[in-house]
Structure 1
Amino acid sequence: MPISSSSMPRTAKLYTAQQAIEQLESRSRSLRPELRPEEAAEQEKALHHAKKEKKQFQARLNLSLLLGILVVVTVVLAIARALPQKTGVFWLFQVPPIPHEFGDFATVLAPFLAISIAIERLLETAFNWFEQSSRAVADILVAPRETLDWVGKEYQEAYEATKQAAETVEVETTPETLELLEMAETRLAKAEERLRGWVNAPEYLAWKRALCIWFGLLSGLVIAVLGDLKMLSYIGIPAPRFIDMLVTGLIIGSGPGPMHDLIGILQGGKNALNNLGQLAKGKSVQHAVDALRQAEADARHRREEG
């Protein structure tokens, strides 16, 4: 019988791996003088395997590394995109032609906005999957080790109890075994709820926001470089192709919010310029009318004097 109300079986595995590491390290410290070289090597191998297994469930955020990856990936993709062109790498520094007529900015930039929204939805889906393992989230937090260990132990014990109760019900279905299974499932649900509470911790929210920004920027840059997207040229700003792709990738990768703001700023600026042009045109016409009236008045005044 499958265990209901449980979406985090790997949480118990992570706790088990942590316990194995602590036991191996403690045994290594206490028995190191008595171990033969073969035994010491075997124990060291077991400890390495346990640590490797634990790392599969942990996540660490290294901002310097992430920034370096962002730069390297962008440059490598840009060079790879330029090599098939006739001018090679110099293609990246050419200024693309600017269109002579520009439509409404909301219409021109709509494809970029759609890409930005798609990137945001993909990131939300990815983090929802990641948060199914709340212990992986907890390992990111700066929290007391004892608290995390107790939460992990509680979840492991609740998971094992529910698993044993489910196996017992399969063999013998009685009111007592069913009640035992219900109690075990209730305990497991509470343990999972306690673990999921880490998702709302300020440390994790800051970590998640930083990583979302990084993944968004990386996705935007990859799409802009591979797709040769040039937002600046679309809005009439001449710039080298690489700079155009770089700016485009950063803008669409920053999310639909900044894209909306950018469209609003550009459209507002365009409307303001149009209004100024119309105003200047109206002033010119009014000035011509005033000049004509003044000329007629001067001519009438000369006739009266003559």
Structure 2
Amino acid sequence: MSNTDLLKNFTGTILLADAPPELAALVQEYLAKGGFLKGTIDGKVGPITMTAFHAFKKANQLGDLDYLGKSTAEALVKLGSVIQPTSTKLDVDYFYQRDNSTNLFGTGDRQCKLTCSAMLAHHLLKSAGLKDLRQLQKEGGYKEPESVYAQHLKKYGDTIYNEPHIKALKDLSISAYYKQKLGLEGLIQLLQKDIPVPLSIDYKQGGHIVLAVGYNADKNFFWIHDPYGSRDAAAHRYRDRSPLAGRYDTYSWDLLNKLWANYWNGHALIATAVGGKSL
């Protein structure tokens, strides 16, 4: 049996601190691959390994934080398999919410969800060879591409609610749904399929929406289009709110775990088809 098979075939339950060194080293290896562990892979389970193990389990909504069981072993193996290639950066046009038209939904400061959905729609339509939002903007004489999306959205309700966005995207021939507990693995898999992902993250009292557009597993960060600007890490403030500051901002895996996977339970908008073709 190979070392990897130790995890693939693991069916018991054990305190990670009591795991044999060979098994503990394999857990450390997968935690390191996933960006949760930085340090020596030596089969010795100390505070650093346990902190990384806890972070991994929380990010994947796995209970019994101190224990290695079948579901945790499967999640570790899956993590190792999905992070190929180690870096994916999507070519997604960046839209800035603060200069959005105020005609339909008020100030741009409350249009993060609209703007991220518009970026998603534009990218998918463009990639599918269909008329994208910039083309529709030009044809309709709109101020910006977000205004095209806003016209569809307004028919179904306010921008802060989920269902109007599902229906507005459907108008543009895009099928999508909202999901809880997506997790970092699921996010990576979508990005590998060239699908940007709007994420609900912690910010002040009402939360905020950003768009995941890539990841780098070697350096343990995600690329994020934040339509409001460049955020000051987990603080409830922004370092830079200028028009391009939020383009390809970087969030460490730990930061995204804290703001999204843990706080908002991995809530995300997932596109599944465009123009009648599955993604």
Q: TM-score, normalised by structure 1?
A: 0.19
- Based on CA coordinates, which of the two structures has the bigger radius of gyration? 1
Bigger relative contact order, structure 1 or 2 (CA pairs below 8 A, ≥6 apart): 1
More helix by share: 1
